[in-house]
Amino acid sequence: MWTQGHGWFLGDDIDTDQIMPTRHLALRTAEDLAPFALSGNDPAWASTIMAGDVVIAGKNFGCGSSREHAPLGLKGLGVQCVVAQSFARIFYRNAVNIGLPLLVISAALPSQPQGCDVWLNFVDGLLSFDAGETQFVGVPPAPIVLDILAHGGLMQLVASRT
């Protein structure tokens, strides 16, 4: 199933301080963190990204600390998915745990304007900039990851089974 959003492009090695600066770590909820998401990179990002948009990055997205605040702020913005060539392992795990979808597409994606239309088929691991005509193939999420995301996060999945 394809969904549509706007694509917002970042480079390589976007660390957790860029995603959620340290000065906002006293905040705890996704809603409180959302206005500051990516503000370490550009203070205007959070006001630009809308619910359903896709963040697209290069290699090593989410490197740095193990703070859960970084993926939580992106989830609070309503980002439907973060697509990157690779993710730092702890960021990947934190994102899955809190219910933020991530897609690995190891190929370098073509240059596109900020805010361009993107189409995403998360379950099949596909991204397109032209309504599916040209597809970039990523790694489809494992069934357990889909189950965790369907429940909104790991704790919600565990709670549903008890």
pLDDT, tens only, 76-102: 999 999 999 999 999 999 999 999 999
Does the structure show a pLDDT above 90 at 48? yes
For residue 136, what pLDDT is reported?
97
Alpha-carbon gap, residue 68 to 94, rounded angstroms: 6
Mean of per-residue pLDDT scores for the chain: 95
pLDDT tens figures, 97-122: 999 999 999 998 998 999 999 999 99
- What mean pLDDT is predicted for residues 30-54? 93
Binned at pLDDT 50, 70 and 90, residue 34 comes out as very high
Note the pTM of the prediction, 2 decimals.
0.94
**Structural domains of the chain in order of their starting residue, each with its CATH number:** 3-160 (3.20.19.10)
List CB contacts of 74: < 8 A, sequence separation 6 or more.
19, 37, 38, 55, 82, 95, 100
Question: What DSSP designation does 35 have?
Answer: G
DSSP state of 20: S
Q: Which pLDDT score, from 0 to 100, does residue 5 have?
A: 97
